[in-house]
Amino acid sequence: MLARFPKSSVILGVIFGVLLASYAPSVLAQASAAADKSSGPANPAASVSVQDQRLNIAVGDRIFALAARIFRPSGAGPFPLVVINHGTPVSIAEAPRMTLGFANAAQWFAQQGNIVVVALRPGFGNSQGPYMEASAANCANRDYVRDGLRTALVEAAIVESAAALPGVDANRIVVVGHSAGGFGAIALGDALPHGVVGIISFAGGRGGDDHEHICGGVQRLVDATGVFGKANRVPQLWLYAANDHFFAPELAHAMAQAYQAGSGPNIRVIDLPAFGDDGHMTFPNADPAVWAPSVSAFLAQVMKRTSESR
């Protein structure tokens, strides 16, 4: 049975409905604008500032001013630090022509709430100093332990300098490296800078020629990787693409197995899909969405571990 309402109530209801219909769009528009303002910029990249500067590092008793690019999220911080280390060209004659890269990757890391530092090591681009990572032997007799440690020495100096930048939480540092930069990163165990809680190596290795050939043979590189694993003290994430022509997936897994055999913390290897003509360039050139899920999970793991240990 339907309820009956007085005629006057019906008339008032109609008037109220008309007024509400005319008023509601204005209210909703104001609420939407307020929500947009409170949620920050629509483009995440807009909240990241980018600045080029010279980064002074100390290697032994020498000081070098490196070309560096700093990516900062908005806010006062302190923020975790991510240091991205570049690789080495097949021909070292190309090193002076190198420029600061990894723009998309650095933006992604900064959008996750990290200060990101990308620097060119001595001997590369317009950074000061000589090339310090030359192998002491010919191709057949490469000493990959020595090679890795020499790169790690410079990378450690970059981390220590970057950790002193304003707004950095020096107890939450992740070192990222690509190719030879990744090989240097996994060699940091002997002299791990204070505050490093994790290492990410993209296509890490040395001695490759982009034709799936390793100077001195695969086993020489695998054995050197095993040496570095014995000194490791932090979790690591290694990522290799299916069509990496420097370090093929089979080699990547052999290196990881040798490293893990001596390492206490876990080493996780991620097999990424093929990218373009050479997956070795996934990290510098591919959309970060290719590797973001694995890296996000790793960052959450090492940062949680840091918080729990405080």
Nearest to 287 by CA among 103, 87, 43: 103
What is the rounded CA–CA span in Å between residue 205 and residue 167? Answer: 32
pLDDT at 308: 57
Stated pTM of the model: 0.84
Amino acid at 135: S
- The H or E element containing residue 198 is strand 196-202
pLDDT at 306: 62
Nearest to 223 by CA among 185, 259, 265, 249: 259
What is the rounded CA–CA span in Å between residue 170 and residue 172? Answer: 6
Q: Which CATH number fits domain 44-309: 3.40.50.1370, 3.40.50.2300, 3.30.390.30, 3.40.50.1820?
A: 3.40.50.1820
Tokens 């899920």 found at: 293
Amino acid at 193: P
pLDDT at 305: 63
Each residue's pLDDT expressed in tens, for the chain with a length of 310 residues: 434 434 444 333 433 343 334 433 333 333 333 333 333 333 445 599 999 999 999 999 999 999 999 999 999 899 999 999 999 999 999 999 999 999 999 999 999 999 999 999 999 999 999 999 988 778 889 999 999 999 999 999 999 999 999 999 999 999 999 999 999 999 998 789 999 999 999 999 999 998 889 999 999 999 999 999 999 999 999 999 999 999 999 999 999 999 999 999 999 999 999 999 999 999 999 999 999 999 999 999 999 866 555 4
Residue 226: partners with Cβ closer than 8 Å, 6 or more residues away: 258, 259, 261, 262
What is the rounded CA–CA span in Å between residue 84 and residue 221? Answer: 23
pLDDT at 22: 41
Q: Where are the domains of the chain?
A: 44-309
Are the beta carbons of 144 and 52 closer than 8 angstroms?
no
Are the beta carbons of 48 and 74 closer than 8 angstroms?
yes
